[in-house]
Amino acid sequence: MEKLWSPWRSNYIDSFKDKDKNEECVFCKAASKNPDDDSSLVVYKGSNSFIVLNLYPYNGGHLMIVPNRHINHLLELTENETLEIFKLSKLSIKALINIMKPQGFNYGANIGKAAGAGIDTHLHYHILPRWNGDTNFMPTIGEVKVISQDLLDIKRKLQKEIKELI
């Protein structure tokens, strides 16, 4: 079996090394942020959940939908949380289609460390826009992933589009 390496993810993995176990959850911190604050990657806040850009994206526009409550399994979601998460997922995908024109999406959650969750203590759903050929020679040969869009620029475009869609 061949192995594909993703060395650009080492920054993400390293961000969790030697963390104080009592340190506040990154998603709980994000839930308290104002989407209008340029130092925050929160795009939109609903009543029970929020949309946030991934700080270490696989592709530009990589979003996450996160419940406000600090829970780690989808079975803990209330009906209202479940409904809002999927409404925000649909809203996010529509906004990404309108502004970035992806040709497909990866969508889902890694529940638990064994499933590959980098942050396994707070449930979150990934929405990853995909384009034909978005995996190219750069990560494979150059050991680098090129994200050509600025996160703050993507955030502003998404916020504008979401306001128009609501």
* Annotated active-site residue in 73, 122, 124, 126: 124
CB distance 55 to 126 below 8 Å? no
Separation in Å, CA 157 to CA 44, 59, 89, 150, 160: 12, 16, 17, 11, 5
Largest CA distance in the chain: 47
Q: Exposure of 96 by Cβ count < 10 A (0-12 exposed, 13-18 middle, 19+ buried)?
A: buried
Structure tokens at 76: 């803990």
Given CA atoms 49, 99, 39, 135 in this order, what sign does their dihedral have?
A: positive
**Is residue 124 flagged as an active site residue?**
yes
SS3 (DSSP) at 44 = strand
- Residues designated as active site: 124
